[in-house]
Copies of this chain bind each other. A is one copy, B any other.
Amino acid sequence: MNGNNLDALFRPLSVAVIGASSKELSIGNVIIKNLQHYGFKGPVYPINPKVDEIRGLKAYPSIGDVPHPVDLVHIVIPPPFVPEQVENCGKKGVKAIIINTAGFKEMGAEGQALEDDFLARAKKYGIRIFGPNCQGAINSDPEFRSYCNFTFTYPKPGYISVVAQSGGVGAVIMQAIYDMDIGLRMYSSNGNASDVSIPEIIRYYGNDEQTRVIVLYVESLSDPKQFMEIAKEVTAKKPILAMTAGTTDKGAEASRSHIGGLAGSISMEVVFKKSGILFFSSQEDLCNAAEAFAHQPIPKGNKVGIITNTGGPSVIAIDELVRNGLEIPRLSEKAKATLKETMFESASIANPLDVVATAGAPQFKSAFEVMMNEKEVDSVYVNFVTPPFVDNESVAREFAAAGKKFDKPIVCNYMTDKKKWEATTKILKEGAIPCFDFAETAAKALASLVRYQKIRAVPKGSIPDFSGIDAEKVKSIIAKAKAAKRGMLCASGVYTTLESYGIPVAGWAVVGSAAEAVQAAKKLGYPLVVKADAEQIVHKSDVGGVVLNISSDKELEAVVTKMKDSFAVDDLKFFIQQQKPKGQELIVGAKKEEGLGHLIMFGLGGIFVEVFRDVVFNIAPLTDTEAKAMPDAIKAAVLLDDFRGKKGVDKAKIADIILRLSQLVTDHPDIKEFDINPILATPEGICAVDARIIL
């Protein structure tokens, strides 16, 4: 046990149910039944003023009437009566309350008022509130057996702890783990989360020694920064496997800003990634991975040795393994020589190693020994069908022995009728061999172990401290714009900001007249671009406010003079910029997300972002490792390298720009959106040629 303040919730010594009921089909009855059937180690006190006894237990009129201390209370009565009962619990000295009742803030102002009321009372007495509008919490620890939940799955003890924002999804995951016949450590679903939060629960699971892997389902985060902070702390100790939903919201796509439109639906995935959490996109994959994490070690690398006693499923497995980035190395000559001695003649001595259907324990034993001893093999994947003409129990014992003897993970696609081969199944189960019905699911479970290893192998890096940055200048630019109530920085503001943070830009000047323009051109050199620079002119290109390819003083004078005539704007300025030769267009952007900080985006410009959505995100502040990974993470990464005779661009410089933008927006949280689009990259150099900053 540890000193974390959620003990009353997960390790209660006694439980009372306010709203306990004799009616079979009621929550107030089901919770007591669950505590009884699951074998809760402490006393259970039904609270109901109308009856003396519920489910064979003495009922008390009120919580104050219970003659013993009460750690944890369920409240299942209608909302209006909840605050008073919380007050009573406070007087009684209750430590935590699970409010199962729904109808609070999710129902509007009236419900919110009730929620505020009971929260204030709970705070007064130092009571932790779980819920409202929630299922509850379960601990399978034989010392507690606390089933404080109205669901129906009775998990056996294990090493997986689950927390789900949605009770429905939590129940599905709990049932799936149960159906897989593996154990669960703790479970919780906290509904409205008015007090006890998901990060707190994750931290609690993180501190629980018996929890080897945490499974998380979350749809939204009230405090993403706190979540990331705690998640990082926990993932340093043990894996968190997570899933979210609501990722197809077409609303987000409709947004005009690139980074806005693209980021909306995927920011949760980015939060997971930044926190070191393994992301899943299906409940089933998540549960299967949890089984592998609960029972097998993490492999040292991505190379897998395959043992199979049937052909087709191993072909399917290879497809899935390769798709997930695993490698299937060749066997060493030594390994082959050994296998030639030990395998049947019809066996196929290679990787995959087909031991053939008639293989028995000696063949499997040797197969495991050889694969496990191969230097080039980090994990072992087995396709094991139970032929009716083989002693499968002996074979299963070889799985268990290999799992015990070696510390490389084994994952098995176990193809059988589990009832007919009950003894075989039991041996595998007791040997902690993760077994899956399908080659694909087994391969994906193994791949998730490898994915985790990869995450762990990447050094976190550090946030660089750039010298020569002029943060004060940017601060004053933003302050001036805000004072003038401008939502968007003017061109000179934007480019000065970029330059102040050492982000290379095409040479530029702001001038007021044709004569000044010609003067500036001397320094900048031709060709040049001229843009009319006034807030009033919005769609500059459409109204003739942008002219490209100016190549002489004469042209420049003519353009500026014409613009001056066309735009009847006071104080009209002209933004003049070097026109750069064509190169690979890049986009680097930042967008502020409430409660999260800035999302940083990188991608290629034009159709790459518009058609293929080929962009990657991370959350500021970025470390050097994170920034460096971004250019390589896009699908079209190959276009940044030497490709079909075209020389590559300086990816280190791109990473540097990403890092500088990250520091820029972190230093200046007033910036809502920052798009550098495009940055032109050529083998000769990289510089920003257009950008905008929204406050």
CB-defined contacts of A168 to chain B, threshold 8 Å: 310-314, 383, 385, 415
CB-defined contacts of A150 to chain B, threshold 8 Å: 387-389
CB-defined contacts of A388 to chain B, threshold 8 Å: 25, 30, 33, 150-152
Inter-subunit contact B636/A167 (CB<8 Å): no
A439 contacts which of B172, B346, B391, B439 (Cβ < 8 Å)?
B172
Question: Does A207 sit at the interface, judged by CB under 8 A?
Answer: no
Given A102-B346, A166-B310: A171 touches B389 (CB 8 Å cut-off): no
Chain B, Cβ-Cβ closest to A319: B248
Q: How many copies does the complex hold?
A: 2
CB-defined contacts of A250 to chain B, threshold 8 Å: 322
Question: Does A181 sit at the interface, judged by CB under 8 A?
Answer: no
Q: Closest approach, in angstroms, between the C-beta of A484 and any C-beta of chain B?
A: 33
Inter-subunit contact A27/B389 (CB<8 Å): yes
CB-defined contacts of A170 to chain B, threshold 8 Å: 312
CB-defined contacts of A36 to chain B, threshold 8 Å: none
Give complex CA distance A217, B165 in Å.
40
Q: Give the interface segment out of A54-62, A221-229, A605-613, A653-661.
A: A605-613
Given A102-B346, A245-B319, A415-B172: A312 touches B165 (CB 8 Å cut-off): yes
CB-defined contacts of A312 to chain B, threshold 8 Å: 164-170, 217, 219, 245
CB-defined contacts of A318 to chain B, threshold 8 Å: 245-246, 248
Inter-subunit contact B169/A417 (CB<8 Å): no
Inter-subunit contact A152/B420 (CB<8 Å): yes
Q: Closest approach, in angstroms, between the C-beta of A626 and any C-beta of chain B?
A: 24
Inter-subunit contact A175/B416 (CB<8 Å): yes
Question: Does A642 sit at the interface, judged by CB under 8 A?
Answer: no
Q: Closest approach, in angstroms, between the C-beta of A543 and any C-beta of chain B?
A: 15
A346 contacts which of B103, B314, B635 (Cβ < 8 Å)?
B103
CB-defined contacts of A25 to chain B, threshold 8 Å: 388-391
Given A219-B315, A315-B219, A440-B282: A417 touches B175 (CB 8 Å cut-off): yes
Question: Does A497 sit at the interface, judged by CB under 8 A?
Answer: no
Question: Does A682 sit at the interface, judged by CB under 8 A?
Answer: no
Pick the most buried of A153, A323, A385: most chain B CB atoms within 10 A of its CB. Answer: A385
Against B, the Cβ 8 Å flags (1 = close, 0 = not) of A15-38 are: 000000000011101100100000
CB-defined contacts of A152 to chain B, threshold 8 Å: 386, 388, 416-417, 420-421
Chain B, Cβ-Cβ closest to A26: B389
Interface residues of A in 108-134 (CB under 8 A from B): none
